[in-house]
């Protein structure tokens, strides 16, 4: 009898599990949209304006000491000196949201394009991680944003080194 009661009790919970899974999919879709909107604003109004718009009041960056600088001040310090003609684009590759629906993260690839003082175009890229926090008004803002550039490709071996290495 106890087994039947437990079984029927679990059956009653199944619709709630399905609703929660649907909510999770919706929340993930919201974060993907936030990333696309964030990147679009960076293209339209510039990277500093986009970061200021999407930053939570307590946003932090790891390359601007988060123990001392949070929110708008952290954004201002992080974006200070951002080259005015540089372009930063990105796209999420992975997204997840906490079961509570108030915290999520995205990570993906970014590309940075700029023109150096020598007139040469420079392109760099890497991976980024953004932690998003739902705000009291229901919107999503980033709490932490960080990126890691791709590792440089190793230089080709010098001709003397290539000849000196034994062949397998």
The answer to whether the pTM exceeds 0.85 is no
In a domain, 4, yes or no: no
The total domain count for the chain is 1
DSSP-derived secondary structure letter, 61: B
Average pLDDT for the chain: 87
Q: Copy the structure tokens of residue 88.
A: 């930063």
In a domain, 6, yes or no: no
The domain spanning residue 99 has which CATH number?
3.10.450.50
In a domain, 167, yes or no: no
Phi, psi of 164 (to 5 degrees): -75, -20
Q: Is the pLDDT of residue 95 over 90?
A: yes
In a domain, 9, yes or no: no
Q: Copy the structure tokens of residue 60.
A: 């932090």
- Write down how long the chain is: 168
- pLDDT at residue number 18: 35
In a domain, 124, yes or no: yes
Question: Of all helices (H) and strands (E), which one includes residue 141?
Answer: strand 140-149
pLDDT tens digit sequence for 16-40: 433 355 699 999 999 999 999 999 9
Contacts of 31 (CB under 8 A, 6+ apart): 92, 95, 97, 104, 106, 132, 140
pLDDT tens digit sequence for 102-150: 999 999 999 999 998 888 999 999 999 999 999 999 999 999 999 999 9
Domain residues for the domain of 131 are 16-150
């Amino acid at each position: 009898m106890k087994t039947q009661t437990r079984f029927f009790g679990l059956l009653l919970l199944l619709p709630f599990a399905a609703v929660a899974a649907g909510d999770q999919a919706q929340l993930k879709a919201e974060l993907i949209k936030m990333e696309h909107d964030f990147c679009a604003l960076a293209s339209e109004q510039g990277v500093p304006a986009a970061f200021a718009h999407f930053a939570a009041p307590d946003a932090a960056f790891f390359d601007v000491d988060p123990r001392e600088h949070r929110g708008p001040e952290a954004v201002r310090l992080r974006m200070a000196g951002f080259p005015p003609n540089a372009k930063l684009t990105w796209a999420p590759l992975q997204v997840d949201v906490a079961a509570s629906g108030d915290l999520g993260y995205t990570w993906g690839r970014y590309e940075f394009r700029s023109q150096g003082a020598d007139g040469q175009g420079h392109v760099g890229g890497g991976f980024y991680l953004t932690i998003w926090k739902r705000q009291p008004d229901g919107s999503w803002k980033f709490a932490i944003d960080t990126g890691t550039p791709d590792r440089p490709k190793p230089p080709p071996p010098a001709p003397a080194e290539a000849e000196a290495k034994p062949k397998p």
